[in-house]
Amino acid sequence: MSKLFFFLSILVFSRAAPVVSPADFQWLNSTVRLFIEGCRLVGLDNVTLFTPDASSSYGAQWTRDFTMALMSTGPASFPLGVNVSASVAYTLDRITPVGIVPDRVQSDGKAVYAPCTPGCWPISLAWDNMPYAALLLANYASLWQDSSFFCRYEKVVRRALFFVPLKQGLAFNDPQSPNTSFGFEDSVVVPGRQLTVSLLMHHAAQDMAALSHSTGCGDAESYSALASVIAGSVDSLYNNASGLFYASDSLELVDDIFGSAYLVTQNLSTPERRKGVANFLASQWEQAAAGAEDTIFQEGQVRHLPWGVFWKKCWKGCPAPGTYQNGAFWATPLNWVLGALDGTGFTATASAIANATINSFMEGGVMECINRPLNYHGVRDYVASATNLFGAISPAASMKDKK
């Protein structure tokens, strides 16, 4: 059974982690541990839940946030004595029989499937929670070396992953009856064939296939087939004009910075197109480092859409331009952005961005998102901002693809 215990990873190509000073790395490491300790919440039967922030703003365990924190860190970052398997099970046990994954689970045991207060938007679920549940299971089982837990939940998670509808090889959000697609754009209506959700599914399918092979539990072939279909379809969202990939193929064609970087880390599309995405990211950073404000970077953190582009269709009015999911700057995608740069030869650029972000954290706090000229920031002590950067620069990050 020992062959189970390899590191799963977003990255499928060899790379070295971006470089920061030992002192800065230790500061971030300590901050990650402090936040994970501080975001704890007691659920039913004294199960420890992990909320998205250590400032008591989000009072539940969100599936995507918990997954990102867990897969970017590992057992050493979680408090001693906490039964993390029970925390994972608290979410997985509330997947519905058909495969719908909770957006979050509350301390009272209630699962909330809508990505906001029930009834506040005319939507019922978020597509990304399904692959995030698979990533949660696969990465917990691998990092915590728990093959029996994987075998217990593999079928439950498989139903969730295959619940997401596909159209021409990509996750599909029906324009006639749309749901939320990617949780970090959950205030936005993004119909059509989806980039980021499809990439999450590809990543999850690869991880689940690998664990199914190593444990003998599950249908490895079905996972591999799903990953293959998605891999062969992502180029249909390529924007020849910009060299990036569209968020979806809806009528509102917008380039997706987060998704384009994530695609590169998974070694999808062609080498030329992956290099083109990395060139764009590096060029934008070079401009930001020179003092330009009209770039996708601010203090190392990253805008979801290109500079000057904003979402046009939201569920109940879009956030003000430059704020929250409509143009603020986020640290959560840095594991993808830094991985894309690092894996395509821009390690110095990745290192510079990592250092700028740590400086921003030290001076201005670890926020959910920021826009300094607007004097705007999201929730304080946001766990995924710290953990996702930590995962990108950790020396273990360069080992995770060595299966």
pLDDT attached to residue 339: 96
CATH number for the domain running over 2-399: 1.50.10.10
d(CA 240, CA 251): 17
pLDDT attached to residue 7: 47
**The pair of three-digit structure tokens given for residue 293, joined into one six-digit string:** 């404000």
pLDDT attached to residue 119: 56
pLDDT attached to residue 352: 97
Handedness of CA 285, 287, 290, 293 (dihedral sign): negative
Q: Is 232 left (phi over 0), alpha (psi -120 to 50) or beta?
A: alpha
Q: How many CB atoms lie within 10 A of CB 108?
A: 8
pLDDT attached to residue 42: 97
So where are the chain's domains?
Answer: 2-399
Closest alpha carbon to 121 in 314, 285, 333, 379: 314
Q: What is the pTM of this model?
A: 0.94
10-residue averages of pLDDT along the chain (403 residues): 45 63 96 98 97 92 97 95 97 97 95 75 81 98 97 98 98 93 91 98 98 96 98 98 97 94 98 98 98 97 97 90 97 97 96 98 98 97 98 67 38
pLDDT attached to residue 400: 45
pLDDT attached to residue 117: 64
Name the 3-class secondary structure at 72. Answer: helix
pLDDT attached to residue 317: 86
pLDDT attached to residue 5: 44
Q: Which residues of 266-278 are buried (b: 16+ CB within 10 A; e: fewer)?
A: bebbeeebbebbb
